[in-house]
């Protein structure tokens, strides 16, 4: 397989890989690194790519696993420096201004969701995969996906309603 053939396969979904990675890792730089890593892994296994029925779903699963590993090692690191971490916890002024933008507020709400719900919101409401595909990517069953999705949507709506009604931001 040549580089061009490979890029033709990968290009339609590489943005989706990136967005899923960003949903999980939050930071753009880390999401970019994760995407590169996933694509390089695919390239190294390019001989096997033809055997996979659905390269895209396979790549999304790979992305999920890679990000989970990253998050795990990050948590381990945070534990080590917990006592020397005197970072200013207050949200910077710049961020506060951004939060007033209600669309960014949605992003913050999703960020607070559990990882699984975040992924499902990403895959369904943003990437618009059908339930069977999501179930396969996340190694869950169809109903579990629906339940988690419903929970996530209700949480988002509740928080948005609160914000809307009381102006809590």
Partner 1 sequence: MIMVLNNIEKLLEKYDNGETTLEEEHVLKNYFTSDNVAPHLEMYKPMFTYFLANQQEKFTKDVPLKTKRKIDYKWISVAAVVLLMLGFYFGSSFNNELGTYDDPELAFNDFSKSMEMISQKLNKGTATVGYLNEVNKGTSSLGYLNEIENTTNIIFKK
Residues that bind partner 1 (CB under 8 A): 3, 6, 10, 14-15, 17-19, 22, 32, 35-36, 39-40, 43, 102-103, 105-107, 125-128, 130, 145-147, 149-150, 153-154, 156-157, 160-161, 163-164
Lookup result for tokens 């931001």 = 169
Taking the complex as a whole, how short is the minimal distance between the CB of residue 11 and partner 1, in angstroms? 10
Nearer to partner 1, 72 or 164 (CB): 164
Name 33's Cβ contacts closer than 8 Å, sequence gap at least 6.
none
Q: State the Cα–Cα distance between residues 149 and 143, nearest whole angstrom.
A: 10
Taking the complex as a whole, how short is the minimal distance between the CB of residue 79 and partner 1, in angstroms? 30
Taking the complex as a whole, how short is the minimal distance between the CB of residue 72 and partner 1, in angstroms? 23
Nearer to partner 1, 71 or 160 (CB): 160
Taking the complex as a whole, how short is the minimal distance between the CB of residue 81 and partner 1, in angstroms? 28
Q: What letter does residue 92 receive in the DSSP assignment?
A: P
Nearer to partner 1, 71 or 146 (CB): 146
CB of 71 within 8 A of CB of 34? Answer: no
Nearer to partner 1, 61 or 153 (CB): 153
Nearer to partner 1, 78 or 143 (CB): 143
* Residue 127 backbone dihedrals phi, psi, to 5 degrees: -85, -15
What angle (nearest 5°) sits at the alpha carbon of residue 43, between those of residues 26 and 58? 60
CB of 138 within 8 A of CB of 68? Answer: no
């Amino acid at each position: 397989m040549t580089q061009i053939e490979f890029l033709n396969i990968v290009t339609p979904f590489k943005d989706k890989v990136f967005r899923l990675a960003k949903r999980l890792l939050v930071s753009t730089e880390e999401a970019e690194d994760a995407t590169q890593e996933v694509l390089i892994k695919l390239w190294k296994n390019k001989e096997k790519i033809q055997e996979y029925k659905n390269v895209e779903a396979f790549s999304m699963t790979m992305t999920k696993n890679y990000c989970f590993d990253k998050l795990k090692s990050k948590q381990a690191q945070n534990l080590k420096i917990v006592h020397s971490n005197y970072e200013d916890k207050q949200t910077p002024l710049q961020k506060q201004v951004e939060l007033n933008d209600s669309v960014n507020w949605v992003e913050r709400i999703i960020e607070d969701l559990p990882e699984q719900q975040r992924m499902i919101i990403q895959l369904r409401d943003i990437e618009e995969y059908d339930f069977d595909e999501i179930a396969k990517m996340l190694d869950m069953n169809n109903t579990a996906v629906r339940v988690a999705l419903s929970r996530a949507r209700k949480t988002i709506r509740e928080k948005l309603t609160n914000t809307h009604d009381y102006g809590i931001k």
